[in-house]
Structure 1
Amino acid sequence: MNWEIYADPLFRLPFAAGLLIAGVLPVLGALLMLREEWLAALGLAHLAAAGALLGLAVGAPAMLGASLGALGGGAVKSLGGARGNTAYGFMILIGWSALLLAAANTSAGDALGQAVMDGQIYFAGWTELAAAVLLTGLAVTALPRLMPRLLRARFFPRHDTANRLPAWRWHLGFDLLAAFGVAVGTATLGLLGAFALVLVPAWAAFRIAPGWAWTLWLAGLMGVAAYLAAFVLALGLDQPFGPALTAVCLALGGLIGALSRPAQGRRGA
């Protein structure tokens, strides 16, 4: 393994962009899992991937195309009043179909489609870093306001209706934030790499965290740890980043699952 490559200035911007994304996506994943909408990450990621490829095909930045694709899906889902994973299942089918059709009918479509699937972390520049900074700023600003309302809607679903509160506003706000986060993650880390960061750290945190605040912190920390390990391994071993990140997340999830099983057994006894 060539350790000098990690000091190359070429990889500083990609590393910083991915690190910010890795800290935000697992937190969004915890909220999606709480709402029983964890499939959102995969549905939105497919729409983002299709949007990124279509954007690249017409000369637009991948980040712009991915954002428009995911935000459009999130807005339609939220304004349509859909809840649960069914809507995201349809997003997967729509995004997958559009992605493969675009790849088959555009010049260099196969190469662009593979780049979107694998992730373009090593080619990330100021655009991706700016999008990651914007995502982090939006999450830090919006989540403290949205989270109490989302928790109340989850555990006391009739409260908003009984008090005539405009619940659609915070559901729409979170859906758009999640869509933007998945879009930025997909365009930078790859389709399944972004999905792994949303799903696995949140799932693992739910198994071991003693409370909601701990769930958010542990999910974020595990996402960052998985990203750091994947960046080192993928760059040092010359591997595609998206699959490496997914593999590290799965290994982390498997370890947490194995360690938490005895504790759950003792509680059940």
Structure 2
Amino acid sequence: MLDPWLASLSDPLFRLPLLVGLLLAALLPVIGALLMLRDEWLAALGLAHVAAASALLGNALGLPTLIGGTAGALAGGALKTRFEARGNVAYAFMILVGWSATLLIGANTELGERLAHALVEGQLYFAGVSELIAALALIGAALWILPRILPQLLRSRFFPRFEQANALPAWRWHLRMDLLAAASLAIGTLSVGLMGAFALVLIPAWVTFQIAPSWRWTLIGSGLVGVTSYLAAFALALQLDQPFGPMMVAVLVGIAAIMTLLRSWPGSPSAS
């Protein structure tokens, strides 16, 4: 019964896309957990919209979508830090600006409409060496940045006045987090699609926040849920000949629904 699934995952034609998505599926949920810690989970959708719009704009100017999308998302993250915007309101404006720009650019540029549709659904099956290099660079940046800013992010969440009282340069770690989130969402959007990247950031983190006994297990659990869901969605999409992005979202929503049912089941700890 598992043979068709294993065969689809080991198909040489899809090995590179599989690896690119696997790296992103391990990282994006961890970024999602950090964004939920900051009460900024809407960042996933806001930065994804900005990345999609800037990818289209870059394409219209002759730039590769990977460069245009990443540059636009990084600019959005930097501006958010510069104007000290905290919470989901800033990202709500990013959604509106990105959505409007994506549709307008797509409607007025050559191949723009087709590219806009591809960005929404995801282009994972066409991921190549450049996407792999970008994903590896992103993982390397996260491994270097996160251990250095995690203590400060946790402290700013639970002791919000500590930084101000001690005149600490809080913008430094907030900027690093904003730029890392922006780059992750940009590369994720251009690979697994706008809504696929949003689902990978939001749902694994939401699931593990319900059950993880500690912050460390929240990060580990988020990554595990993301990778497991990704592998299942990848195999299902190939076997059923479906677009990957919607399948990824469907699998993650299914996991969230199962978690909700289990927690509401009579006799479960949360139901008592």
TM-score (norm 2): 0.95
The CA RMSD measured in Å over matched residues stands at 1.7
Aligned to 1:236: 239
1:164 aligns with 2:162: no
CA distance in 2, matches of 1:162, 1:198: 32
CA distance in 2, matches of 1:6, 1:252: 21
Aligned to 2:27: 24
Aligned to 1:177: 180
CA distance in 2, matches of 1:175, 1:83: 11
3-state SS, counterpart of residue 165 of structure 1: coil
3-state SS, counterpart of residue 59 of structure 1: coil
Are the counterparts in 1 of residues 9 and 234 from structure 2 also a CA contact under 8 Å? no
Alpha carbons of structure 1 residues 103 and 160: separation in structure 2 relative to 1, 3 Å:
same
1:186 aligns with 2:189: yes
CA distance in 1, matches of 2:137, 2:249: 24
CA distance in 2, matches of 1:163, 1:35: 20
Are the counterparts in 1 of residues 233 and 248 from structure 2 also a CA contact under 8 Å? yes
Matches within 5 A, 1:63-82: 63-82=66-85
Alpha carbons of structure 1 residues 9 and 206: separation in structure 2 relative to 1, 3 Å:
same
2:227 pairs, out of 211, 214, 224, with: 224
3-state SS, counterpart of residue 150 of structure 2: helix
Are the counterparts in 2 of residues 44 and 70 from structure 1 also a CA contact under 8 Å? yes
Instruction: Tell me which amino acid in the other structure corresponds to 2:22.
Output: L
CA distance in 2, matches of 1:8, 1:267: 42
Aligned to 2:211: 208
Aligned to 2:139: 136
CA distance in 2, matches of 1:111, 1:256: 36
- CA shift at 1:58, angstroms? 2.7
TM-score (norm 1): 0.96
- Matched residue pairs, number? 269
- CA shift at 1:7, angstroms? 3.8
1:119 pairs, out of 117, 122, 144, with: 122
CA distance in 2, matches of 1:268, 1:228: 31
Structure 2 gap ranges (5+):
none
CA distance in 2, matches of 1:265, 1:255: 13
3-state SS, counterpart of residue 18 of structure 2: helix
Instruction: Tell me which amino acid in the other structure corresponds to 2:182.
Output: A
Instruction: Tell me which amino acid in the other structure corresponds to 1:180.
Output: A
Matches within 5 A, 1:242-261: 242-261=245-264
* Percent of aligned pairs with the same amino acid: 58
